[in-house]
Chain A
């Protein structure tokens, strides 16, 4: 079973994690990805940016969608908070 210590080791090891500061003052550490994915509109595919922050669900209990979050000096909006059910959440971001 995954425990908090394990999650801390993953998200706060200092190796791959980033600091994220939410507009409510909350500061958490998690994995930030700035990848892209294809979306199709009117039969045309757009390879669109799809940034997200993966972190401990407990750490972002006070975060709501539409809050802003600053990561690497870039301000994003939290579009959607997806709970994976394993103590980890994915915050889908939009610039």
Chain B
């Protein structure tokens, strides 16, 4: 049974974030610490990224009896770093996340685009009083993809 397009897109985002290895265009090395919807990390695992898929709004492709829907799904890429002596680490990770996204905004898997396009959403950095030595960032992207009506797979 085939994975849903939602699953394929999330898997593609996770695989892309794992490219952030401190080499080439990337400054941060996440050391493969990128996981699907992981809700807890230890400080010694940082830098790390959790990827969450969010709400998806659907629209008919035509006002008549359309056979397919266009979905706009929010994906939240949440990065966490140890702050260190300056507050630059999380800004750097955010830069690396954006660099990774722009490599291919159609999330091509095995030569096939899973998405029609990707738009930037919100960006945020968190340094809270009780966050001790760590800080976090959140990059939201809006992924637009098409499926047949009531068919999550194609």
Contact = CB atoms under 8 A, between A and B. Distances in A.
A21 to B, nearest CB: 18
Contact of B132 (A42, A44, A50): A50
Interface stretch (B8-16, B37-45, B99-107): B37-45
Interface residues of A, number: 17
Contact of B83 (A45, A50, A94): A94
A23 interface: no
Contacts of A48: 43, 131-134
Interface of B: 38-43, 46, 50, 76, 78, 80, 83-85, 124, 126, 128, 130-136, 138
The A contact surface, by secondary structure, is strand
Interface of A: 36-39, 41-50, 77, 94-95
A36 B132 CA distance: 9
A50 B43 CA distance: 10
